[in-house]
Amino acid sequence: MHVITIPVTPFMQNSRLITCPDTGKSAIVDPGGDVDKILKCIEDEQLNVERILLTHGHLDHVGVADELKHVLGVEIVGPHQDEKFWFDALPMQSQMFGFAPKVTFYPDRWLSHKESVSVGKLQLEVRHCPGHTPGHVVFYHVNSSKVLVGDVLFKGSVGRTDFPKGDASQLKQSILEQLFTLPDETTVLSGHGENTTIGYEKYNNPFVSGQFG
C-alpha cells in the first residue's frame, strides 16, 4: 500500500492518499480541508481515486469530503453509523472549530466492525474503535502492516475524550482490544503528528499504561 500524506487545515490533520500498487486505484482518507491541495496532489501523481474513506465525523477530518465526492464522482464510505451524531452537527462544528459554515452531509455507506473495504486489490479491515467519538473506525491493511487510526492513537498520546459522547475508558478499551492486538511492527498512521508503531505505543504510551489515568 503506497501512502501519501497531506497535512490540511490549521489543525494539521493528516489526510492520506492510499494507492494499490497493482491496480493504481486510490482512496482519500479523511479529507478535512484544503481541497485544492488534495486535488493538485491527485493530479500531480496521476491518481485514480475510487472512493473516500472516513474514520470519524469531526470536521477537521471530513470537511471537504462532500466537495471531493462531487468533483471526482466517487462515494464516501464510513465511518460507523454511531457517528451520525457528528454529521448531524456539522453546522455546529464549523462554529465550534472556527471553520467556514458547513452544511450537513452523510456518507453514502456506513461501515460495520470487521467489514472489509477494497481499494483496488487492497483489502482494508474495518475495526470499530469508539471512545474519541462513538462511531470511530480504523482501517488495517495486514499485507503492508499499516493501520490508519484517525484520532484514536497518537505517538505518546491518545485522542481527546472531552467532546460530546467521548468516553476515556471506552477509548482505552478500543486501543487495547483493537489496536494492541495487532503485531508490534504495525505502522500507526495517525490523524495528527508523526507515524509510530504498535510496539512503541504498547510499551511507551503513558495514557494507555495507566501512568496518566
Section 192-203 average pLDDT: 97
CATH 3.60.15.10: does it fit domain 2-209?
A: yes
**Strand-strand pairing, 2-8 and 13-19:** antiparallel
Q: How is the chain split into domains, by residue range? A: 2-209
Rounded Cα distance, 5 and 15, in Å: 6
* Percent of residues, the chain, with pLDDT higher than 70: 98
Q: Band of the pLDDT at 25, cuts 50, 70, 90?
A: very high
Res 141: pLDDT? 98
Res 209: pLDDT? 73
167: helix, coil or strand? coil
* Percent of residues, the chain, with pLDDT higher than 90: 94
Section 2-19 average pLDDT: 97
Res 145: pLDDT? 98
List beta partners, residue 18: 3, 27
**Which three-class secondary structure string do you get for 6-23?**
EEECCCCEEEEEEECCCC
List pLDDT tens digits, range 85-127.
Answer: 999 999 999 998 888 899 999 999 999 999 999 999 999 999 9
Res 56: pLDDT? 98
Rounded Cα distance, 55 and 52, in Å: 10
